[in-house]
Structure 1
Amino acid sequence: MEETKHAITYAGKSIPFHLIYSKRKSMEIVVYPDGSVSVKAPLGTDENLIEHRLHKRARWILRQIRYFAQFEPRTPQRRFVGGESHLYLGRKYRLKITRSEIEGVLLKHGFFHINVADNKPEHVAKLLEHWYRRRADVYFSQVLGECWLRFQNKGVDKPTLKIRIMKTRWGSLSRKGGMTLNLQLIKAPRECIEYVVIHELCHLLHSNHGKAFYDLLERSLPDWIARKKKLEMALC
C-alpha cells in the first residue's frame, strides 16, 4: 500500500490530501475528524482522474472540514493534573491524584482516583491509558459479541478483535477479517461504540462504502446517522 501527499485548489482554497493506492475496486474519499482528507484509489488509477473526482466533491469536502472544526474547542489538550476532567463511556470524571508507592487507578464517586509514586503528567497519562485499555479489552469484546448476533447467520466469520490508538479512524476491518477498534472509543457512550462495531461488521459483506453497504447499515442500525453525529460531538 503506497501513500503520498498531494493537494488541489478549489475556490481559492488549498485542500491537502493523502493519496493511498491499494488493491481495491473503487475510489473512496474520506474526511476525518481532525480535518485531514484521504483518497483511497485502486492501483494504477490515473492522478488526473483522482483530481477530477476531488474537484467534483470539493464543496462536500470543505463542508465536512467546517463541520468537524466546530468541535475542536470541545477537547482541549489534556494536562493530566488533579481536577481535570476525563471521559469514560460518555461521562466526565475528574482526576484525584495521590502520591503512593502502590500505584493504581480506581473509578469511584465521580472521580478517577489515581495513586502514583511519580505524579509527573506523563506517568499519570500512562497509568490512565493502561486502565482504559484493560476496560476496553472487556467492554469492546462484550459489545462485539452482542452486535455479532445480527450477523452470525449471514455466512461470514466473526472477526478477531484488536485495540490500538488510531489518529484518524474509529475502527477498521482487515482483509483477513480482523477488527481493530480505536482505544479512544472507550471514552464514548455505548451507542457510539455499537455504531462503530456494526459499521465494521457491515464491511464483512461489503468492503467499500457503496449503496449495498449503506443499505445493510441502515437495516442493521436504523439510527446510525444520529449515533455517528453523537460520536463526533463527544470525542472530536
Structure 2
Amino acid sequence: MHRDSPPPLEYELVRSRRRSLEVRVRVDGSVQVRAPLKLAAYRVEAFVDSRRDWIRDQQQRMAARPRVRWRDGDPCQYLGEPLTLRVAAAARARVARHGDELHVGVPDPHDEAAVSHAVHEWWRGLARTRFQESIERQFPWFAERGHRLPVLRVKKMRSRWGSLSRRGYINLSLALMQYPPAVIDYVVMHELCHLEYMHHGPAFHALMDRRMPDWPARKRRLDG
C-alpha cells in the first residue's frame, strides 16, 4: 500500500439477498455495510472508499451529539412537545403524563438506564396506534396502484428512522415518538414511496415531491 493512502475503514459486513450496497453509521460511530451475497469483495471495498468522506462526516456528527440524560428535571420529548421528567422511587416501573411533566417511577430513581427503559416502553404502548393511523391515512393512493398494505413493526433502530422490506413489512423507529406528527408522516410517506421505487433515485424523489411537496422541510426537522 502506498504510504500516502488513507488507512482502511473498519466496518461490519452483512451479506443478504439484497440487490444493492448500503452503508450505515450507528450512533456509537461504528460502520455497517450491507451487500448482496455474491458481490465481489473488491467492489464492496471500492464502495466503502467512495463513501469515506460521508462516513467521516456522520461519525463526527454522532460524536458531537450531546448525551441524552434521564434524570429528574431533565427534558423529554413526546410527539414534539417538550416535557420535564419527574423521577421518583416506585416498587415497579410506571409512567404517566401530567400536563407538561412526565412522571416516571422506578425502583432506583438514580438508574438512568431504568428510567430510559420505562419511558421507551411508555412510547411503545402508544406508538403502534400512532404509526398505524399515519400509514392507513396515507396509503389509499398506493392501494390504487395495486400495492398491499404493509405490516407495521415498531422497533428500536440504531441507524435509521424506518425501512420497507420486500417481504411486506414497514419498520418504524420507536424514537419517532419524540417528533411531531408531521415528521412521523414524512417518515411513513418516505417508506410508502419505496413500494413504487426501492431506491433513492430521481424517480423516488419526484414521487415524494408529488405526494408530500413540503417533505424537505419535514426532513430538516428530523435531521435537526
Establish whether TM, by shorter chain, passes 0.5: yes
Query: Does residue 47 of structure 2 align to residue 57 of structure 1?
Result: no
Sequence identity, in percent? 34
Residue 69 to residue 96, structure 1, CA distance change in 2 (3 Å): closer
Greater alpha carbon shift after TM alignment, 168-177 vs 97-106 = 97-106
Which residue is equivalent to 1:22? 16
Match of 1:149 among 136, 140, 159: 140
Deviation for aligned residue 1:185: 0.8
| Aligned amino acid, residue 9 of structure 2 | I
Residue 100 to residue 38, structure 1, CA distance change in 2 (3 Å): closer
CA distance in 1, matches of 2:156, 2:139: 23
Q: Is the 8 A contact 1:19 1:41 kept in 2?
A: yes
Residue 172 to residue 62, structure 1, CA distance change in 2 (3 Å): same
Deviation for aligned residue 1:143: 1.4
Q: Is the 8 A contact 1:24 1:42 kept in 2?
A: yes
- TM superposition score normalised by structure 2: 0.82
CA distance in 1, matches of 2:4, 2:42: 15
Deviation for aligned residue 1:133: 1.0
| Aligned amino acid, residue 86 of structure 2 | K
Structure 2 residues without counterparts, runs of 5 or longer:
none
Deviations 1:22-58 (A, max 9, x none): 2233333444565443333222111112222333333
Deviations 1:166-195 (A, max 9, x none): 212211222221111111110112222112
Residue 225 to residue 70, structure 1, CA distance change in 2 (3 Å): farther
Which residue is equivalent to 1:6? none
CA distance in 2, matches of 1:148, 1:35: 35
Deviations 1:80-131 (A, max 9, x none): 3321211111222111234456863221221012345654534433432221
Q: Is the 8 A contact 2:27 2:158 kept in 1?
A: no
CA distance in 2, matches of 1:100, 1:63: 43
CA distance in 2, matches of 1:131, 1:44: 42
Q: Is the 8 A contact 1:10 1:58 kept in 2?
A: no
Query: Does residue 211 of structure 2 align to residue 187 of structure 1?
Result: no
Match of 1:89 among 70, 79, 83: 79
Higher-strand-fraction structure: 1
Which residue is equivalent to 1:203? 194
Greater alpha carbon shift after TM alignment, 197-206 vs 113-122 = 113-122
SS at match of 2:144: coil
Structure 1 residues without counterparts, runs of 5 or longer:
1-8
**Larger RCO (CA within 8 A; separation ≥ 6):** 1
Residue 115 to residue 25, structure 1, CA distance change in 2 (3 Å): closer
User: What is the root-mean-square deviation in Å for CA atoms of aligned residues?
Assistant: 2.8
Q: Is the 8 A contact 1:33 1:232 kept in 2?
A: no
Residue 126 to residue 222, structure 1, CA distance change in 2 (3 Å): same
Query: Does residue 217 of structure 2 align to residue 226 of structure 1?
Result: yes
Deviation for aligned residue 1:198: 1.2
